[in-house]
Structure 1
Amino acid sequence: MEKNGNPEYQYENGNGDVATSTSSTQTTQIDGLTGFNRRSEDVGDAFGSPFFQSQSRRSLGISPTDKDAWFYNMKHKHRGKAIIFNHENFEVRDLKSRSGTGTDCYHLEAALRNLGFDVTPYVDLTLNEMNKKLNYWSEEVDYSDYDCLLMAVLSHGEQGIIYAKDGPYKPEDQLWGRFTGDKCLSLANKPKLFFIQACQGDRLDKGITMRTQVDGGGSSFKIPIHADFLIAYSTIPGYYSWRNTQKGSWFMQALCEAFNKYGFELDLLTMLTYVNRRVAIDFESNVPNNTLMHQQKQIPCITSMLTRLVKFEKKNYK
């Protein structure tokens, strides 16, 4: 259940409460000298059957970016599709309304449109409704003329799950798992960006006090199906995510600020480092009537499988 120590601050959680060697020195020396010339094999660090096969089908896609390029190709006809799943009201027991999420959605939509995204927001969808929308976006849309895909989810959550209006789901299955390179070929080797504003647990971060001390081509290549993803959570696993009921969540406030100030100037990972710093240093909970919740901190968590830098370029839509 969502805890609320002050009407101005809320939290996004859903339920509240050695091997030894017997080889001789001579053998070791000979192996060491000749081993570099022998053909080697790669092995997986997995426990279990070595005959397990991935379920992904064989696919051949056309890479929109040169194999050795530092930056993704962001010069397609359109910037990209942006989908926002905004959850404010719930049918799940003990999940309170997320006051302030409308502000998050409004500012995020505006910031993304300013970057050139075609934005589609959804409000308070059930699991079944989300499933139908995600089927459409992952199976029916052709992204050939788009730079990238961006998806944001604003909701309650616990570690490993996010809530739709009527129940929880695993984001790796329901969200980004649908857009891997083998399933959505027109997005292969393009950035797929996911931003999750939700709690990942009920732990609190009281922080520590710091004092500043100043010292003065045309070839083909194969990619993993999970390459080119970026998943940014508002907080680290196990911890609360804070939201102001009037100004919106700390993470979305900082993210929209970064997009608006530096969207065409800095690459995405640099912007997200700025977001981390803003949330970590400039935000602190203000719940003076609850000593447990008062003066708490938060740090976003970014997982990157990107293989190049994402730099949004201004487009000339004539």
Structure 2
Amino acid sequence: MAVAALTGVRTGFVDNVSKPVIKQLLDDLVEGGVLNDGESESVREDNGTRADMARDLIDIVRKKGDKASSKMITYIQRRDSSLYEKLGLLDNQPAPEPLEQEPSKQEPPKQEEWSDTLKHTTEQFWRGKLRDNSIYPVTKEAFKNRVALLITNIKFTDATLNRNGAEKDQENMEKLLSALGYEVVKYTNLTGKEINEALIEFSKHPKLKETDSVVVVIMSHGKLGAVLGVDYKKTLSNTEKQDEFPIDNIYKQLGPEKCRALLDKPKIIIIQACRGEKAGAVLVSDSTKQDLVCDDVKQPSPSLPAEEEGLEDDTLRCVHKEKDFICLLSCTPDTVSYRQRDHGSILIQYIVQVFNTFAHEDDIEELFRKVMHRFEDFKTQNKRQMPTKDRCTLIRRFYFFPGL
């Protein structure tokens, strides 16, 4: 019996378990439903020494019976296999049933299993992360002060560049961001200069001092390193300057040098725009016969060989000037991203699916990975697209804790 097994190793457990393992076991037991938050807090705060914490913990669990004791034995095996062997639990107890695979390690479900609405995290899950120094802190007060910037270019001065279907992207992202607790500052149809001005204004938003994070979403046509403004022209005279917004400006305006309010806070960037700059490209418009179009004004002719593009060089950046960022770009360098006229961009559709289904239990990097994995299913004739995580300087894990 599991209770007898724990009772038999009580002294050895008290003498040998480390304090970090005790804390991990407490988190496991809370998430596993063995302990409640009050019992966990009592073990942490009402005992002055490591040994007292260990003694209190094992006694509480033993009194809850075989099922609780069996779970604790399983958690000990997972958290400290050498302690598990030293205590002789393998000899005193049948091999514990394997733990269910952690949600963050699971592959995304099939398409029909995606959630249509955002799942909420539990109070228990949030409290279990509060004392973990490897996670960015999220308090209920900070959650109430979240703010996000959403910029969508749909209609261009040159009507042949209009992004039909992007209205759906704007609607979907605004709904998702609001559900995640963010006040959405929304702009539509901006020039490159106006995008920059909107970003500067956003960097002064009064809620940034109290928020735990920000999200910036920009959706437009694009090229490598830039998002295109609505006044972009296919051809320019010698005296004209092209209407573009350098993506690098996001890092400059929201970095610690110009935005102290966001120091040490996650800054999540999502860019839905192509990154192709091919010589000999042809202009692409949203033909009424096309259900799938790309978000670049340039697309290589299939008869021309691909040209290599240089990678962006991050080696000269100082860490203290750029930290706590993560960016998801809709495609790899030198490639295009696609948009459906009726449903919007493929990237935004997949982000909504993944976030609705997993944001309640996965951190942002795992969410982005699952979005990328989702593109394994995107295979339309000879078209492929792969999003890219870029310039990630997160030093901890960030959870949205939706519904907090």
| Same fold? TM cut 0.5 | yes
* Cα shift at 1:311: 0.7
Structure 1 match to 2:192 = 127
Q: Match for residue 215 of structure 2?
A: 150
Give the aligned residue type for 1:69: N
- Distance in 1 of aligned mates of 2:371 and 2:398: 16
| Matched letter for residue 168 of structure 1 | E
Give yes or no for contact 1:75–1:313 (8 Å, CA) kept in 2.
no
Of the three residues 82, 89, 93, the one matched with 2:155 is 89
Q: How many Å separate the matches in 1 of 2:379 and 2:160?
A: 24
Matches within 5 A, 1:17-166: 69-75=133-139, 77-79=141-143, 80-91=146-157, 93=158, 96-166=161-231
Structure 1 residue 127: deviation in Å?
3.0
Q: Partner of 2:274: helix, strand, or coil? A: coil
Query: Which position in structure 2 is the counterpart of 1:288?
Result: none
Range that drifts further, 105-114 or 138-147:
138-147
- The Cα of 1:120 is off from its aligned counterpart by 1.8
In 1, distance between residues paired with 2:374 and 2:147? 27
Q: Is the 8 A contact 1:76 1:147 kept in 2?
A: no
Q: Which runs of 4+ in 1 moved over 6 A?
A: none
Greater RCO (CA < 8 Å, at least 6 residues apart)? 1
Is 1:300 aligned to 2:364, yes or no? no
Answer yes or no: is 1:278 the counterpart of 2:374.
Answer: yes
Cα drift, residue 111 of structure 1:
1.1
The letter of the residue matching 2:141 is K
Structure label with greater radius of gyration: 2
Whether contact under 8 Å (1:86, 1:101) holds in the other structure is yes
- The TM-score with structure 1 as length reference comes to 0.65
- Contact 1:85–1:121 at 8 Å: present in 2 too? yes
Amino acid at match of 1:200: R
**What is aligned with 2:248?**
172
Q: Which residue of 1 aligns with 2:341?
A: 245
In 2, Cα distance between the equivalents of 1:140 and 1:118?
11
- 1:315 is displaced (CA, Å) by 5.2
1:254 CA drift (Å): 0.6
Corresponding residue number in structure 2 for 1:259: 355
* Paired AA for residue 300 in structure 1: P
Name the structure with the higher helix share. 2
* Partner deviation per Cα, 1:95-141 (whole Å, 9 max, x = no partner): 51111111111111111111111112211012343233222111353
Match of 1:191 among 234, 245, 266: 266
Deviation at residue 284 of structure 1 after TM alignment: 2.2
What is the CA–CA distance in structure 1 between the aligned matches of 2:198 and 2:175, rounded to whole Å?
A: 22
Q: Which residue of 1 aligns with 2:282?
A: none
The alpha carbon displacement at 1:161 in A equals 1.4
Cα deviation, 1:11-43, whole Å, max 9, x if unaligned, reads xxxxxxxxxxxxxxxxxxxxxxxxxxxxxxxxx
Question: Offset of 1:158 from its aligned partner?
Answer: 1.0
One-letter amino acid matched to 2:137? N
Question: Could you say which structure has the higher strand fraction?
Answer: 1
**Which residue number in structure 1 is paired with residue 365 of structure 2?**
269
Distance 1:94 1:248 in 2: 18
Deviation at 1:231, TM superposition (A): 1.1
Tell me how far apart the structure 1 counterparts of residues 205 and 374 of structure 2 sit (CA, whole Å): 38
| Structure 1 residue identity aligned to 2:202 | W
Would you say the 8 A contact 1:182–1:188 is kept in 2? no
Alpha carbon RMSD of aligned pairs, Å?
2.5
Q: Secondary structure at the match of 1:143?
A: helix
User: Hey, what's the Cα distance between the residues in 2 that align with 1:233 and 1:180?
Assistant: 19
Aligned residues: 225
Per-residue CA deviations over 1:221-252 (Å, capped at 9, x if unaligned) read x9612010011100011001111111111111
Quote the residue 1:18 is aligned against: none
Shift of 1:75: 1.3
